[in-house]
Amino acid sequence: MRVVEKRQLLSAEEISRTLSRLAHEIVEKSGGAHDLALIGVRRRGVPLSQRLAAAIKGFAKIDVPVGTLDITLYRDDLSTVGSQPVVQSTDIDFVVDDRDLVIVDDVLYTGRTVRAAMNGLFDLGRPKRVRLLVLIDRGHRELPIEATFIGKTIQTSDTEIIEVRLKEVDNEERVVLVDRVP
Amino acid sequence: MLQRLPHLLGIESLSREQIEFFLDQAKPFQEFQRHPLKKLATLRGKTVAIAFFEASTRTRISFTTAASRLGADTMALQAEASSLKKGESLMDTVRTLEAMKADAIVMRHASSGAPHFVAERLEIPVLNAGDGTHEHPTQALLDALTIRDRKGRLEGLNITILGDILHSRVARSNIHLLSKFSVQITLCGPSMWVPREVEGLAPKIRRALCMEEALEGADVVMTLRVQTERIHEPALAPDEYIGGYQLTPQRLRCAKPDALVMHPGPMIRGLEIDDAVADGPQSCVLEQVTNGLAVRMALLYHLVGGPPADAPHPAKD
């Protein structure tokens, strides 16, 4: 099995414009954003959430708290994955009770990661509302989960993989569609 | 990424990298202890047998709680109230637990090497919760975690261990662990409990003749319990021990002003440690207890979570 790049879905500049639009949408749909907090899902949700918070600070002058969530302990596939995932820290240094939370992740696919993230968040308290923001929605849901804020929707086959590469993690900034070929 | 261990039997056979991996893996579980809802489903459907062939309170409760917070069920075996009393052999007992489909056995036994003997004969992971005078690996890991949190490192510290080194599995596991991090270890206690041979356990060990010498410049002071159950002849009168080796506020002043005071518990106040030290600002005894939960959760996740250790790896995306 070989992995080949099929096409680029977003350039660095497009990622930047998309995040800027999403930041405006969050504020617009949050009635002032005062109870708002962003929860970045490890790993690539974390830099995305930080960039969104910086953007909101830039145009709305609001400091939105940002937390980091590690979902490893909440995964439902631990007994089937190839190697045991390493648990990382969850850093949410504000109380989630009565907060208006937006979970931030790079790609929405089966919905299982989001299910795990919600379980993790509800172990920390009772948020007022939880919404989801993703950079890419690629379909193929296995759970009744949809995103409120979507950067770009893409039709994919289930052998294809979306790779979001962010400079903070990957030293590169673009989104590509790759495929597995025998 | 660390290769999964089949068992946790002792510190001596672990590498420094493996130890660091477990200390790092304990961090998210430390933070988890502060969550309002301390219940995960990570090990749901798994069963951890807690087989204690020797009395214990804190280690048994700590492992049971760690398993429960990860979502596993536990089977408890206590020697006093089991078929062992009726003469059942160790292997028959643990094979029975395995036949009841336990996914791991946490085991404490008065005989050194008992968990190693069991591990060679069972298919499931064995976690040593203390074997005779040999090792108590989770205690050494939680101690190292506590020290690293407070001091920011292990390397280059001066650590003094006081008391009955010879009979202490806590001391032995700690010595093995700390020596892998180039810690200068000083041992002090009555001479029959700190014989010359203990210097051969690891490099960078020295024996001190008196408390003042032992505590001079110490970053960490570990006191041990005087273990009457492991000593068959009364070797030393309590008054002599108190006079020579009790950790008192006055003696503690020989150590660095910010030296940590640690004790694996249970403490015998007024024997190996004075109340004022046990409850003083330098004491991190209760922090050790909380860190014990985090370390044990990390180890149970490592040994029991995920696919069976010998399962073929399915194709990954």
Distance CA A15, CA A10 (A): 6
How far is A153 from chain B, CA to nearest CA, in Å?
Answer: 21
pLDDT at B312 over 60: no
Burial of B126 (0-12, 13-18, 19+ CB in 10 A): buried
- In the block, which residue shows the tokens 């009364």? B234
Strand arrangement, sheet containing A2-10: A2-10, A174-181, A160-165
Are the C-beta atoms of A103 and A130 separated by less than 8 Å? yes
Question: What is the C-alpha end-to-end distance of chain A, expressed in Å?
Answer: 5
Confidence of residue B234 (pLDDT cuts 50, 70, 90): low
- The secondary element (H helix, E strand) that includes residue A151 is strand A149-153
Closest alpha carbon to B11 in B315, B299, B308, B234: B299
Nearest Cα of chain B lies from the Cα of A99 at a distance, in angstroms, of 16
Where along chain B do its domains lie?
Answer: 16-135+290-304, 137-286
Question: H or E stretch including B140?
Answer: helix B137-151
User: Is it the case that residue A81 has pLDDT exceeding 90?
Assistant: no
State how far the Cα of B248 lies from the Cα of B185, in Å rounded to an integer.
20
Tokens coding B280: 């003083």
Distances (CA, A) of B69 to A153, B22, B35: 39, 18, 11
**Residue A105: pLDDT over 90:** yes
B227 vs B134, higher pLDDT: B134
Report the pLDDT value the prediction gives residue B302, as an integer from 0 to 100.
Answer: 95
Nearest one of B22, B42, B29, B48 to B106, comparing CA atoms:
B48
Other C-beta atoms closer than 10 Å to the C-beta of B158 total: 18
**Six token digits for residue B303:** 């040994």
Separation CA B176–CA B137 (nearest Å): 10
Higher-confidence position of B173 and B198: B173
With CA atoms as reference, report the closest residue to B298 among B169, B145, B149, B107: B145
Quick check: A110 contacting B, CB < 8 Å? no
Specify the CATH superfamily of domain B16-135+290-304. Aspartate/ornithine carbamoyltransferase (3.40.50.1370)
Partner B contacted by A124 (CB < 8 A) = yes
Write out the residues of chain B at the interface with chain A, using a CB-CB cutoff of 8 A. Answer: 1, 4, 25, 27-29, 31-32, 35-37, 39-42, 70, 298, 301-302, 305-307, 313-317
Model ipTM? 0.81
3-class SS of residue B86: helix
Lowest mean pLDDT among A35-44, A131-140, B29-38: B29-38
B182-202 per-position pLDDT tens digit: 999 999 999 989 999 999 988
Residue range A149-172: mean pLDDT, rounded: 95
Cβ distance B32 to B24 under 8 Å?
no
For A78, which of B27, B29, B42 is closest by C-beta distance?
Answer: B42
**DSSP assignment of B157-221:** -EEEEES--TT-HHHHHHHHHHHTTT-EEEEES-TTTS-GGGGGGSSSEEE-SSHHHHHTT-SEE
CB B176 within 8 Å of CB B12? yes
**Which of A83, A91, A92, A110 is the best substitution to test chain B (most B C-beta atoms within 10 A)?**
A83
Distance CA B317, CA B312 (A): 15
A5 class by beta-carbon count within 10 Å (0-12 exposed, 13-18 middle, 19+ buried): exposed
Rounded Cα–Cα distance for residues B287 and B283 (Å): 9
The confidence band for B306, taking pLDDT boundaries of 50, 70 and 90, is confident
User: How does DSSP classify residue B124?
Assistant: S
Sheet holding B104-109, edge to edge: B73-78, B47-52, B104-109, B126-131
Q: Compute the nearest-CA separation of A79 from chain B (Å).
A: 4
Q: Collapsing DSSP states into helix, strand and coil, what is residue B117?
A: helix
Query: What pLDDT, on the 0 to 100 scale, is given for residue B316?
Result: 34
Beta-carbon separation of B25 and A86 below 8 A: yes
The domain A11-76+87-156: what is its CATH number?
3.40.50.2020
Please answer yes or no on whether A80 and B307 come within 8 Å at the CB atom.
yes
Q: What is residue B231's predicted lDDT score, i.e. its pLDDT?
A: 63
* Residues B169-183, mean pLDDT to the nearest whole number: 97
Report pLDDT digits (tens) over B68-106. 999 999 999 877 666 666 678 899 999 999 999 999 999
DSSP state of A81: S
In this structure, CATH architecture of domain B137-286: 3-Layer(aba) Sandwich (3.40)
- Residue B270 pLDDT > 80, yes or no? yes
SS3 B267: coil
Q: Do domains B16-135+290-304 and B137-286 have the same CATH topology?
A: yes
Dmax (CA) of chain B? 67
Q: For helices B137-151 and B169-179, give the axis angle rounded to 10 degrees.
A: 50
Contact at CB, A124 and B35, closer than 8 angstroms: yes
Task: Report the C-alpha gap between A50 and A56 in whole angstroms.
Answer: 10
Residues from chain A that touch B302, judged by Cβ atoms under 8 A, are 84
Whether A78 sits inside 8 A of B306 (CB atoms) is: yes
In contact, A66 and A90? CB cutoff 8 Å: no
Contacts with B307 from chain A: Cβ below 8 Å: 78-82, 84
* CB burial of residue B315 (10 Å; 0-12, 13-18, 19+): exposed
Beta partners for A164? A175
Domain boundaries, chain A: 11-76+87-156
Residue B315's pLDDT band (boundaries 50, 70, 90)?
A: very low
Cis peptide preceding B266, ω within 30 of 0: yes
